[in-house]
Amino acid sequence: MKLALGTVQFGLNYGIANSSGQVDIEQVQQILNVARKSGITTLDTAIAYGNSEQCLGQVGIDSFHIISKLPPLPENVEVQTWVETQIQSSLQRLNIKQLDGLLLHRALDIVGESGAELQQALQDAVEQGWTKAVGISIYDPSELDQIVNVWKPDLIQSPLNVFDQRLIQSGWLKKLADLGVRIHTRSTFLQGLLLMPLENIPEYFLPWHEQLQNWHYWCIRQDINPLQAAFAFLNQISEVESIVVGVDTASQLQQILQDSKKQIDIDWHQWAISDKTLIEPSRWKINK
């Protein structure tokens, strides 16, 4: 199964469509039970996701493959010691012996001032058996222009959705696949924006009202819901190994499982939007 479960909501109050706040531990247990039964095998987390790792370790995740992320590399640290300390603390919180993947939350650290030491520390982490693979989490495929000629990751995680098609349009999706790099995608629903009813969309998004309205009207004409449509876009991209989605409740996950298999053969390029103030949630200015 291509679906992987994102866990930022387990440690933080996250997402513009999230009205219930951080997910409590009983609901986390229910979500993971549904994930297990449905065949989801990968959980995506990060040291920076509040107490997400601790929460996962508390409920028990032995049956899952875990991807976690190192926080940005601080200045003036001994890199090898810092990386080892971060990984060991992460494994302890998660209550596991090995990660399936370890990513850098700030990808450009790998080519920064301490890039060579960081590359060596990540290689050592694989050799020590602390993680099976190492890689980077990117926010813009242009970051790869600076990285891949210097250091080849085993795994990358990138935003990719029907509005944000930069990974495809830049040519990097094909290049990474040709290099044998595993590709995980996130921001499947653009932090929930693609699924929100038009009347609930915050004022910040008024400049793109026409695109959002067209998206919803197109879904109606296709006789599908926006969730099915968001997955239909990703389902036709064979290079993607895992599609990371986050949920607040077990019922949300059940709905996603039900609607995630849709296939639609159209030219998806028509929906691509290049405006970073829309497709990069870190730029959004919203009062929740």
pLDDT, tens digit, for every residue of 46-58? 998 888 999 999 9
pLDDT at residue 113, rounded to an integer: 94
pLDDT at residue 18, rounded to an integer: 42
pLDDT at residue 21, rounded to an integer: 62
Supply the Cα-derived Rg of the chain in whole angstroms.
Answer: 19
Where in the chain does DSSP place strands (E)? 3-6, 42-44, 65-70, 101-104, 134-137, 155-159, 182-186, 242-246
pLDDT at residue 17, rounded to an integer: 46
pLDDT at residue 171, rounded to an integer: 98
Q: Does 171 reside within a domain?
A: yes
CA gap 103, 7 in Å, rounded: 15
Q: Does 159 reside within a domain?
A: yes
- What confidence category does residue 22 fall into, taking pLDDT thresholds of 50, 70 and 90? confident
Quote the domain boundaries for residue 179. 3-279
- Average pLDDT estimate for 86-94: 97
Q: Does 287 reside within a domain?
A: no
pLDDT at residue 16, rounded to an integer: 45
CA gap 288, 283 in Å, rounded: 15
pLDDT at residue 150 is higher than 80: yes
Q: Does 176 reside within a domain?
A: yes
Q: Is 218 exposed, middle or buried (0-12, 13-18, 19+ CB in 10 A)?
A: middle
Q: Does 286 reside within a domain?
A: no
Residue type, 219: C
CA gap 87, 73 in Å, rounded: 13
pLDDT at residue 157, rounded to an integer: 98
pLDDT at residue 24, rounded to an integer: 87
pLDDT at residue 98 is higher than 70: yes
**How many folded domains does the chain comprise?**
1
Q: Does 258 reside within a domain?
A: yes
pLDDT at residue 255 is higher than 90: yes
Q: Does 285 reside within a domain?
A: no
pLDDT at residue 49, rounded to an integer: 85
CA gap 283, 3 in Å, rounded: 27
pLDDT at residue 20, rounded to an integer: 52
Rounded alpha-carbon distances, angstroms, from residue 222 to 92, 208, 218, 266? 48, 21, 6, 11
pLDDT at residue 48, rounded to an integer: 87
Q: Which has more pLDDT, 82 or 48?
A: 82
Q: Does 98 reside within a domain?
A: yes
Contact 49, 244 (CB under 8 A): no
Task: Look up the CATH number of the domain holding residue 65.
Answer: 3.20.20.100
pLDDT at residue 121 is higher than 70: yes
Share of the chain above pLDDT 70, in %: 95
